[in-house]
Amino acid sequence: MGMMLLKGDETPQDIICLAYGLEEGLRKFYAASTKMAIEAEVIKVLSKLAEIEVRHKQKLFDLYKTIDSADTAIENFEDTVSSELMEGGFDPDKLLEESTGTFKNASEVLNFAMMLEAQGMDLYMRYAEKSQDPRVKEVFFIMADDEKAHLNSLGNLLENI
C-alpha cells in the first residue's frame, strides 16, 4: 500500500478514519471467507478474526473521540470512512477471489492474518517516521503498538490450535 493513501497533510482524525476503514475492509474479508470455508475449524477461526476486527474498530473510534471534540455518533463517523481496502493494502474482494481455497486449515488462516498485521504495523511505523505533525506521529505509534498486540494475540491463538 505504501504512501499512496496519504498526501502528507492529514490530521490525526484523518489517520484514524483511514485505519478504521482498513480494519473494516479486513473484517469484511474474514466474514466473506467464512462463507467459502469448508472445515469447521477454519470457519471458527475466520469468524473469530472478524470479531476481533470489530473490537479493533471500536478501539479506533474511541481514540477518535478523544481527539475530536465533537460528540460524534459512530454511524456519522462511519459515513466518513472508506473500507475499499484492508490492512496490507489489498482490495478485499480481489483478495477473496484470489484466495479461494487457500485456507485449508486454521494455522494457514492465522499465518495469513499475522502477515497482514505485520504489514499494518510496518506501515504505521513508516508513516510515523515520515510524519512532521507530532499528533499524527503519536496516533501512528499508537496504531503500530495495537498491531503489535494483535500479532501477539494471533500468535497465542496459533499456539493453542
Q: Is 87 helix (H, G, I), strand (E, B) or coil?
A: helix
Domain 12-159 has CATH 1.20.1440.230: no
Give the Cα separation of 49 and 26 in Å (integer). Answer: 9
Residue 52 above 50 pLDDT?
yes
Contacts of 103 (CB under 8 A, 6+ apart): 33, 37, 42, 46, 109, 112
Q: What is the pTM assigned to this prediction?
A: 0.83
83 falls in which pLDDT band (50, 70, 90)? confident
